[in-house]
Each structure stands twice: as C-alpha cells, then as structure tokens.
Chain A
Amino acid sequence: GQQVMQIPQYQHVQEGEDFTTYCNSSTTLSNIQWYKQRPGGHPVFLIQLVKSGEVKKQKRLTFQFGEAKKNSSLHITATQTTDVGTYFCAYATSGTYKYIFGTGTRLKVLA
C-alpha cells in the first residue's frame, strides 16, 4: 500500500540557517500539498505541486516536486523565528481525491 515518509521528524536550527524537509513516497503521487501548523494552531495551506519536476517559490520558501512524482521537498532559506511550527506534506494518490497527511517535520528556530 501507499507509504509516504516525511523526514526529518524534528529539526532545530539557528536563526538564519537554512532548513529542508522531505516527503518520500513508494508510489507515484498525483499531486502534493504542503501545510504549516503553528504550535496550538491548525494546518494552513502553503502550496500545491502537480507537475513532474515542478518548482515553486514563495519568498524564502522553495517547493519542489520530483521528476518521478514520488518525492517532494520544502526548503526555507535563512530561517526566522516566525518559521517555527510543523510542516506537513499531504498527498492524493492517482485516481483519488483522498488527502493523506505525512507525519510532519517539527521546526524549532533558535534566536
């Protein structure tokens, strides 16, 4: 069955350092979404990737979808304390509209 791993589980960085989280699937994904959840808050949509090899940027955030549509990454350049939270990938397998969330990467930024 579908298996998607999100790594790392935790990441502590100094403010100003870069951060990357990865979402890896054993099967092809139809699309992938990324969400951010602040401590005590609810998941908030960041972006959706649909095309093979797609790269999208939002200010300091860069999102990539692998050529085989089996993996994705979220990279934050020069982290700030406002980046603190848990980042989730969410994916739907081909032919379904059922979104499954990854286990998340909890980011802590040390000032």
Chain B
Amino acid sequence: EAGVAQSPRYKIIEKRQSVAFWCNPISGHATLYWYQQILGQGPKLLIQFQNNGVVDDSQLPKDRFSAERLKGVDSTLKIQPAKLEDSAVYLCASSFLRGGGGNTIYFGEGSWLTVV
C-alpha cells in the first residue's frame, strides 16, 4: 500500500514570497490533515478535511495560509506571503475515517520549509 505522498521535500524561499505544498493521501482515506511542526515542537493541526469539506481550520492563519482539497483526494497548502516564523516542516496526514474510534493517522515524509 502506497503511503502519503508529499512534494516538494525541501524548499527555501525569501520572506514575502509564496510557496505551495502538495499532498496525495492514501487511497480511500476520507480524512486529510495538514500539520505544521516547528523544530523541537509537536505537530500543530492547521486544517482538517473530510472528503473535500473543511472540518476544522481554527488554527490556520487565514490571512496568509490557504488550503484546498479538490475532488476529495489531493490537497494543496499555500503560504502567501511567507514570514520567517513559517519555517517548519509541513506534514500531510490521512486517515480512513474521521479520526476517532480506532483510526490510525498516517503521515507523509513532510515538506521542509526554510524562509530566509
């Protein structure tokens, strides 16, 4: 079974530039998550999709971050304009159900962003 695919793996941009990350979840997984992990911290949930609808985006900085999941499969996370504090690993994850009741969350390898 293929895992969660993410690209690019690494990205270095200057502040105020834009960047986009792509995620392809495990086939058949209805729930997709984007987490932000700053070095030395735990993953922080940015947004959670159920199929192509948003379940939770309370921690997404909507003035600069946007995410979509067209057709309920692939997803993109965009940052525009980037700030220095956005330097982090952006982890995409997916699960079969809506995250509860014996549901495993599978993570991708992550997209490492450095803003200079």
Do chains A and B stick together as partners? Answer: yes
The interface stretch among A14-22, A73-81, A99-107 is: A99-107
Instruction: Verify if B65 is at the interface (C-beta below 8 Å from A).
Output: no
Which B residues fall within an 8 A CB radius of A? 31, 33, 35, 41-45, 48, 55-56, 91, 98-110
Q: Which residues of A contact B43 (CB under 8 A)?
A: 43, 88, 101
Residue in chain A with minimal CB distance to B99:
A97
Interface of A is mostly: strand
Summed over the interface, the residue pairs from A and B with CB atoms below 8 Å come to a total of 55
Interface of B is mostly: loop
Q: How many residues in A have their beta carbons less than 8 Å from beta carbons of B?
A: 22
| Nearest chain B CB to A90 CB, angstrom units | 8
Contact of B91 among A42, A97, A100 (CB under 8 A): A42
Inter-subunit contact A102/B42 (CB<8 Å)? yes
Bound Cα distance A104, B44 (Å): 12
